[in-house]
Amino acid sequence: MKKFGFEIEKKLEGTLARAGVISTPHGDIQTPAFVAVGTKATVKALSPEQVRAAGSQVVLSNTYHLYLEPGDEIVKNGGGLSKFMGWNGPTMTDSGGFQVFSLGAAFDSSVSKVSKNRQGAYELPALDAPKADERTPTLVEITEEGVKFKSYLDGSEHFFTPERSMEIQYNLGADIIFAFDECTSPDAGKEYQKQALDRTHRWAARSLEHHKYLKSQNSSTKSQINSKHQKSNSEVDWNLELGTWDFRSEQALFGIVQGARYEDLRKESAETIGAMDFDGFGIGGSFDKEDMGNAVKWVNEILPEGKPRHLLGIGEPIDLILGVENGIDTFDCVIPTRLGRNGTLYTKTGKINITKAEYRRDYSPIEEGCGCYACQNYTKAYLAHLFRSKEMFAGTLGSIHNLYFLTKLVADLRAAILDGLFFEYKKNFLGSYK
């Protein structure tokens, strides 16, 4: 079984950018890389083969959603996430921390984790404060011990602690998992951001401790099985005994840096999380759109250089370029497939809405020279027809193209770093993308 590891192949002088390789039990990830999001163990509208053909190396799924349906024990007994979903490659799972935001401050509102401006900020209620107004979370209750969620499926209550998140992710069996954290709203004021940051740091320590405990139990189980059979430490032998799989002895845990748009909080979090014995790091939480690159730079100038860094939930092309330039190794975001299912498609000159009348008789591909399956086989006119007719195949083709566009963009950034042409590539891309 291949162990988890990270190797930097080349660093770009004058920046934090680097090209490298993350090793996992299910294969290597050439970095920088864009991670496809398969929230419920499926990338919406696409088969695993189509995801791979679009250039994806790794898929991220959602701990909270898989816990609710089908249940982490079912995924475990199905061979773990990779086998269960038929994905022959590396996988990640988040911790459930994003749902603290999406089912809390963002529930039934237009609040996004990326703020477009600094206006209109408000303070969220302090811990244990009475519910004050309609902005108060309706499906989430945060305490020092953990988070009480109300299921969006049936209203049932579920309590997530850092320890419980580790246990669920351990059962899901992804190659890379994340510590439990509190993802805050960009509209929350600094006082609340500081409270949440300190709590996230305490939860990170608890996540790490329990993760190490679970791995030690796994190693003990392997030793007992091998002793029973009086055989060498063979993966095949003990997998047969368990009747399933187990890559969890090499499961990597990433700590998450928070701090919102505040430079002092971001740096404090990077120092605190960076000093813990994590295998890598996630950069999460809320950002100001115009300050994204700076916020990432503040953090990555502090985090240990020899461990991988993942930017959670960010996927717009310009943000990917800024992220790579400032030391990000991997990204995940639902945006390419979400936009693709709704007819918004990426091109080198910007996004287009394929449902517009101008494309009904346009017999060119979405983008000339694009190597994706959709562009190689179909025209804008055909896609416009599919979307206008509400055919399921429309979402598949749109998702294939968008996922290919972003995975190729990040792969091109990697090649540009290796070839010493990063700034030339950045200038050319930004010069045409509007």
d(CA 104, CA 222): 41
d(CA 420, CA 276): 33
Q: Is 94 in the active site?
A: yes
Residue 431 class from Cβ within 10 Å (0-12 exposed, 13-18 middle, 19+ buried)? exposed
d(CA 2, CA 25): 5
Cis peptide leading into residue 365 (ω within 30°)? no
Look up residue 288 and give its two tokens: 């100001």
Q: What angle do CA 352, 358, 361 make, to 5 degrees?
A: 115
Per DSSP (E only), the strands in 156-266 are 157-160, 176-178, 252-257
List, as one string, the DSSP characters of 248-285: GGG-EEEEEE--TT-HHHHHHHHHHHHTS--SEEEE-S
Please tell me whether residue 60 adopts helix, strand or coil conformation.
strand
Say if CB 393 and CB 46 are below 8 A apart: no
Number of helices (H) and strands (E) in the chain: give both, helices first. 16, 18
d(CA 406, CA 55): 9
Cis peptide leading into residue 186 (ω within 30°)? no
Q: Which among 199, 172, 190, 188 is positioned nearest to 97, based on CA atoms? A: 199
Determine which one of 28, 329, 332, 362 is catalytic: 332
Look up residue 349 and give its two tokens: 């000159």
Look up residue 196 and give its two tokens: 């949440």
Say if CB 106 and CB 115 are below 8 A apart: no
Q: Is 329 in the active site?
A: no
Say if CB 60 and CB 35 are below 8 A apart: yes
d(CA 88, CA 70): 20
b/e map 394-405, b = 16+ CB within 10 Å = bbbbbbbbbbbb
Q: Which helix H or strand E contains 411, and what residues bound it?
A: helix 392-419
d(CA 146, CA 165): 10
Determine which one of 28, 72, 94, 277 is catalytic: 94
Going by the DSSP 8-state scheme, the letter that residue 350 receives in this structure is E
Active site residue ranges: 94, 332
